[in-house]
Structure 1
Amino acid sequence: MRSFTTRRSVLRAFAVAGAVALGGLSALAPATATAQPFPTKPITIIVPFSAGGTTDILARIVGQYLGTKFGESVVIENRDGAGGNIGMQLAARAKPDGYTLFMGTVGTHAINEHLYGNLKFDPRKDFQPLTRVAMVPNLLVVNPERPYRSVQELIEYAKAHPGEVTFASSGNGSSIHLSGELFKQLAGVDMLHVPYRGSAPAVTDLLGGQVDIMFDNMPSAIQHVRSGTLVPLAVTPSKRSSELPEIPTVAEAGVPGYEATSWFGMFAPAGTPDDIVKLLNEAIVEALHDPEVVEKFTAQGAEVYSETPESFAQFIEAENEKWSAVVKASGARVN
């Protein structure tokens, strides 16, 4: 036993000497001293709206890709309510380690701040933008029994009948509502807003003739356009939709400067380390260039969009400036 111990001590001495000769004792430092890889456990994406909506669907498509890429589960957690504020508050308070992400929208990050009083978080300061993931156009549609078949005819009718044209929305302060308010401001017309608890009941009443027009998200309106039960007048972005290329933009149709698009983007809590932010941005952008992901987005009427965190942050600032003015002019307020 003693000879074995002595021999082991000699061998260890030679090993130490070799390590010193090759660069010092630091060569013997354990591997655990290096940075841990990311991720090493499941990632959660908080969606501030109910399952089955556009925000949820897009988050699941991206999450599925990330799960495959990282070899870790990506869990979608739906926390709906208060226009997205419940899920947003939860995400804002999450540990900034990259394991909790948030799928935000034009509503959560450019409208709610100006619409709701006494928010318990800051939509801009408490979140780290990663990238936009999609732009979804709104579609100006009318009941087929109405006497206007173009934007100009709608404007002429609304001016001749102030306050009589009704436009439906999915709720006060929604992007659909504010798309109509922006139209009113730029076209110089007086129309009556009729809010609903969601897009589906609003479309139902539009089809039934209880309301006249609606600036609906394309994914829920396009099926009725294709079936002929709703008449499309224009799309709301600055360029035409590849899904309905024959339909002009609102600006082309006679309202210069009009542009309103629903957008969706991925965020992390503020304070997330820069290297994790970079890694997540690159992974999500990679997903958004995958042909299968692009195909799935297109099927939802969404246009894939990716960018740097810095570019996304600048876009959010511009969107806040734009929509704060629209909210103020509309008089909409939720306490």
Structure 2
Amino acid sequence: MILGQSVIVENKAGAAGLIGTKFVKAAPADGYTMMVGTPATHAIGPFLRKKMPYDPINDFTAISLIAKSPSFLIVKQDSAAQSLAELLESAKAHPGEVTYGTPGVGQTQHMIGLRLARQAHVDLLHIPYVGTGPGVTDLLGGRLSMLIASAGGVVPLIKDKKVRVLAISAEERSTLLPQVPTFSEQGLSDVSLESFFALFGPAGVDAVIRDKLSAAVATAMSDPEMIKTVTAAYLTPVGSSANELKSFIKSETEKYKQIIKEANISVE
């Protein structure tokens, strides 16, 4: 409605977003082909993979930061750890025995676990899964100490009181779960890492077209109904300018580059 024409969504899944990202990189820079980028495609992947077929900044036109998505650190409801501090004390007492599950290697939640271990000076064992579901199963089955996951996979468990949330990775507390403290509040400011959804086009999109698209995203993300829908999904609506997204991506890439370098990890 905002642009006055239909928008076709084409799902090009595979290789942690690599297939779709390469497709958009090679598309004409006419403003008709765009992609929704995430940390996996534009902040983590470029430094995690040994061979990356694109530059996350120079090979794309930054258009707008759509929204941010925090992660939750959860434990089983009957866990002995009543707080993050108690969980970390257990990790210090039992190096390498306390486990944390994530949706996979290189996901934002994996980076959160790495940064948590480093800043808290503990040795945590990473258990990567394919998605959140298997991790939830192992957590509830007592085979996992904690799980770091996005809202979609754990909020129903929180509401049913099957798990306890010890921290949220957002910069501020969630209005939907105001009782859950942030990592920063608990002395772990470096662990405030959020996933994001951002709109990109191929490199070379004309500035007039780029700014028109940025304005359209900003208008959409400021709509009261859209804000209500996005917030209900535990996302933070943004709707930035192109320059703001470009600065944001530069900051994110530097942040994740450092985490990956410190952990000395890579994937083929």
The TM-score, its normalising length taken from structure 2, stands at 0.96
What does the per-residue CA deviation read over 1:100-131, in whole Å, with 9 as the maximum and x for residues that have no partner? Answer: 01101122111000001212221211111111
Give the SS at the match of 2:70.
Answer: strand
Residue 332 of structure 1 and its aligned partner are, at CA, apart by: 2.3
Decide which structure has the larger Cα Rg and report it.
1
Alignment of 1:75-224 (within 5 A): 75-224=8-157
**Kindly tell me: are residues 304 and 256 of structure 1, through their superposed partners in 2, closer, same or farther at Cα, counting changes over 3 Å?**
closer
CA distance in structure 1 between the aligned counterparts of 2:192 and 2:219, rounded to whole angstroms? 28
Aligned to 1:61: none
SS at match of 1:77: coil
CA deviation string 1:125-148 (max 9, x = no partner): 111111111111111101223210
Which structure is higher in RCO with an 8 Å CA cutoff and minimum separation 6?
A: 2
Q: CA deviation at 1:254?
A: 3.2
Specify every segment of 5 or more residues in structure 2 that has no aligned partner in the other structure, as ranges.
none
Among 231, 240, 243, the alignment partner of 2:176 is 243
Cα RMSD between the aligned structures? Answer: 1.2
Tell me whether 321-330 or 271-280 shows the greater mean CA deviation.
Answer: 321-330
Task: Give the drift of 1:257.
Answer: 3.7
Residues 68-91 of structure 1, C-alpha deviation per residue, up to 9 Å, x if partnerless? 223322111111111111110011
Amino acid at match of 1:87: G
In structure 2, what is the equivalent of residue 23 of structure 1? Answer: none
Contact kept, 8 Å, 1:141 with 1:214, in 2: the verdict is: yes
- Rounded Cα–Cα distance in structure 2 between residues aligned with 1:314 and 1:85: 22
The list of structure 1 runs, each at least 4 consecutive aligned residues, that deviate by more than 6 angstroms after superposition, is none
Output the amino acid matched with 2:212. Answer: L
SS state of the match for residue 232, structure 1? strand
Following superposition, the deviation at residue 330 of structure 1 comes to 2.2
8 Å CA contact retained: 1:133, 1:266: yes
1:193 to partner: Cα distance: 0.3
Matches of 1:238 and 1:73 in 2, distance apart? 35
* 2:211 maps to 1:278: yes
Count residues in correspondence.
268
* Cα distance in structure 1, aligned partners of 2:133 and 2:240: 32
1:173–1:332 Cα contact (<8 Å) kept: no
Task: Give the one of 183, 186, 200 matched to 1:253.
Answer: 186
TM-score using structure 1 length: 0.78
Q: Structure 1, unaligned stretches of length 5 or more?
A: 1-67
Which residue, 257, 262, 266 being the options, matches 2:195? 262
1:140-166 deviation per Cα after TM superposition (whole angstroms, max 9, x unaligned): 101223210111101111000110111
For 1:94 and 1:191, locate their aligned partners in 2 and report how far apart those are by CA, in whole Å.
Answer: 42
The percent of aligned pairs where both chains have the same amino acid is 35
1:151–1:254 CA contact under 8 A, matched in 2: no
Q: Secondary structure of the equivalent of 2:71?
A: strand
